[in-house]
Structure 1
Amino acid sequence: MTLYRANPKDGVAWITGGSSGLGRALAKDLARQGYAVAVTALPSDPADTLLVETAQMTGHVKSFPCDVTDEEGMARTVAAIEEDMGPIVLAVFNAGNYIATPGEHLVVRDFHRSFAVNYFGIVNGLVPVVEYMRARGRGHVVVVGSVTAYSGWPTTAAYGGTKAAINILAESLKYDFDKMNIRIQVINPGFVDTPLTEKNMLPMPGLMPVHRASRRMARGISKGGFEVTFPYHISWPLKLLGLLPRPICRIVIGLTTSWWGRPLNFDRKMPSETGRSPDQAA
């Protein structure tokens, strides 16, 4: 049996983190393909302008605001989309955040928040939507990782850890999802020019415009295999670098990022005993 791949004629595409950046661009691309697209983002980050921009496209977009860290809220969102728009045949878990974690300024809350959004933000939506897909006997799930999952990079102890976990999540679930005719893909993009990467403290070789990254992502969803990664001239060398002995890998990354010559910076105010970072302290 050929494993199911989503088609706009079959139902709805649901995108989390869809009001800005890569998710927003992908929502437009899928609407152009004819999908009815459900977009989920924080209530404070409305998708109103996206709805206007896609109004004349073949498909259409509708907003279902929710915080991906809200387990019960995500279950209600899935149910609302199914009732209002129809069956979710494609679920793209794109919502994420990046919190830099330099070794001299570790904050427990930064790790909790990174995993709450990047990892459990997927799980909170994945569990309810897969129940619908399993009952129908088909579905297509996409989780968005990163090339930082291939090896450890400076300041990415939290972010890269979540993306490595996402890759293992997808690999582990694929065994049983295949039996249920639910296709799962992991997309590991390189650096994409979005508000998220503006926070990055590292050099970003091969930085892609968001519209190009979205097109590659859409093509990967419609034609790609289990892992979709781009751009090749960045992702494949990084993938191969991750296969090298760890001491060599660290040397190469340290030289590439000029991190060996970076002085430690202890000027930042230390977090309070509550575990909040200074910019989040009450």
Structure 2
Amino acid sequence: MWPPLNPPIKDWTDKRIWLIGASSGIGAALARHALSAGAKVILTARRQPQLEAVAAGHKQTLVLPFDVLDTAAWSKAYASIVSRWGGVDLIVFCAADYRPERSWAVEPAVAAQTLQINLGSVYSGLATVLPDLMAQGHGGVALVASVAGFVGLPNASVYGPSKAALINLAEILYTDLHPQGLAVYLINPGFVKTQLTAQNRFAMPALQTPEQAALAIWRGLSRGQFEIHFPRRFTQLLKILQLLPYRLRFFLLAQLVQPK
């Protein structure tokens, strides 16, 4: 049995976790898991009321609302974290934008914004926290990508490429940061019931709740897994799909997006 690629985390007590995109969906559910495990949780998203609702009743929270596209806001928020708790042990990038669209319907301005939220903001966050993480020699980075980054799924004309880029970036980060003592986690969920996926007009196989997704992520983080993908009955099929010849792959992909 091969050991995990990251050190397993046995005790989350007082671990400082910065969740980007924590106002709803997977991010909010993951925050609740972290808080129940005794972690200190920094909650970031644009919508302060929703963040306050997630933090309600928990003393070990810090609510820092800002737009992830505001590059100057990153350093200001991080300064608040350093002032309060001295830094972070784990930053989790959950923020995402999505709209189902075929390639001929893509609007350049909207596509640019999606790419900035899904990918560009991650670089802003990394530039903010990596110097201190590397200096302290421990901690980690988690990127929430998607199975949409495995293969070219129809209706994911912008979302899919942005998530494929995150998968590639996570692999690069592991190569760069593992020798520095840092953990890197790549999270590839299948379909999760959120406001974003509610836009889909096709049957979503193995649809999960945010709570189910958060539990799978939490288990993977605790076990030190590099790639955390779920539900496996669906994600394993897509991994097999990656290996098929294009002629067969394209035929099978077309079956996934039949209208409801």
Offset from partner CA, 1:205-258 (integer Å, 9 cap, x none): 100011111111111111142111000000010111012112211110112322
Structure 1 pair 73/5, CA: closer, same or farther in 2 (3 Å)?
farther
Q: Which residue in the other structure is 1:28 paired with? A: 32
Aligned CA RMSD, in angstroms, stands at 1.9
Partners of 2:55 and 2:256 in 1: CA distance: 41
CA contact (8 A) 2:6 2:225 kept: no
1:69 matched residue in structure 2: 69
Q: Normalization by structure 1: what TM-score?
A: 0.85
Residues 53-110 of structure 1: CA deviation (Å, up to 9, x unaligned): x42xxx7222101111111211221221121133200111111010222133121112
**Aligned equivalent of 2:255:** 255
Q: Bigger relative contact order, structure 1 or 2, given CA contacts below 8 A and separation 6+?
A: 2
Structure 1, unmatched stretches of 5+, are 263-282
Q: Which amino acid aligns with 1:25?
A: A
Kept in 2: contact 1:5–1:139 (CA 8 A): no
SS in 2 for 1:153: coil
Q: 1:176 to 1:81 in 2, by over 3 A?
A: same
- 8 Å Cα contact 1:101/1:157 also seen in 2: yes
Task: Tell me, yes or no, if structure 1 residue 134 matches structure 2 residue 134.
Answer: yes
Q: CA deviation at 1:44?
A: 5.7
Go from structure 1 to structure 2 and tell me whether the alpha carbon gap of 1:5 and 1:39 turns closer, same or farther (over 3 Å shift). Answer: farther
Q: CA deviation at 1:114?
A: 1.2
- Kindly provide the amino acid, as one letter, of the partner of residue 200 in structure 1: N
Q: What is the letter of the counterpart of residue 152 of structure 1?
A: G
Q: Which runs of 5+ in 2 are unaligned?
A: none
| Residues 5 and 140, structure 1, Cα contact 8 Å, conserved in 2 | no
- Cα distance in 2 for partners of 1:153, 1:184 equals 26
Between the aligned partners of 1:23 and 1:129, the Cα distance in structure 2 is: 19
- Measure, in 2, the Cα distance between the counterparts of 1:14 and 1:224: 18
Counterpart pick for 1:50 among 51, 54, 63: 54
1:107-126 → structure 2 map (5 Å cutoff): 107-126=107-126
Matched-pair identity in %: 30
Rg larger in structure: 1
More helix by share: 2
Which aligned pairs between 1:166-185 and structure 2 lie closer than 5 A? 166-185=166-185
Deviations 1:253-273 (A, max 9, x none): 1123227xx9xxxxxxxxxxx
State the TM-score, normalizing by the size of structure 2: 0.92
